[in-house]
Amino acid sequence: AFRPTLALHPDGQTLLATDADGTILQWQLTAPAPAQLLAWLPSHRTVRELSCAERETYGIEPLCVAGQPLVSSAELLLSLQDRFA
């Protein structure tokens, strides 16, 4: 059975882990600044529309009115980019 191996760099900022296929994965444990992450998102991830239930569950405002979101997920992302720019 596969047993992952983990190694934490002494500086606490990098973690190495083995995958089931033998690949070594490197994880950066320091979070990027919010502006960097928001700039990276659109070109590296699909930004899908959130359902009204998801918006309520995660407290993403504005919530829906009559079952319809007031703004799109793309518009929310743009407003966050402006806020952290």
- The per-residue pLDDT for range 45-80, each reduced to its tens digit, is 898 999 999 999 988 888 999 999 999 998 998 898
Q: 82 and 58 in one domain? A: yes
pLDDT at 85 over 80: no
Q: Supply the range of the domain harboring residue 8.
A: 1-30
Q: 18 and 6 in one domain? A: yes
**Residue entry with tokens 């743009």:** 78
**Which of 33, 44, 27 has its CA nearest to residue 81?**
33
pLDDT at 31 over 80: no
Q: 85 and 67 in one domain? A: yes
Q: 56 and 81 in one domain? A: yes
pLDDT value at residue 24: 94
pLDDT value at residue 48: 92
Q: 35 and 75 in one domain? A: yes
pLDDT value at residue 2: 82
Q: 23 and 35 in one domain? A: no
Name the region of 19 (left: φ>0; alpha: ψ -120 to 50; beta: rest): beta
With cut-offs at 50, 70 and 90, classify the pLDDT of residue 10. confident
Q: CA 7 → CA 10, 17, 21, 22, 31, distances in Å?
A: 9, 7, 17, 15, 19
Prediction pTM value: 0.54
pLDDT value at residue 42: 87
Mean per-residue pLDDT, 32-41: 85
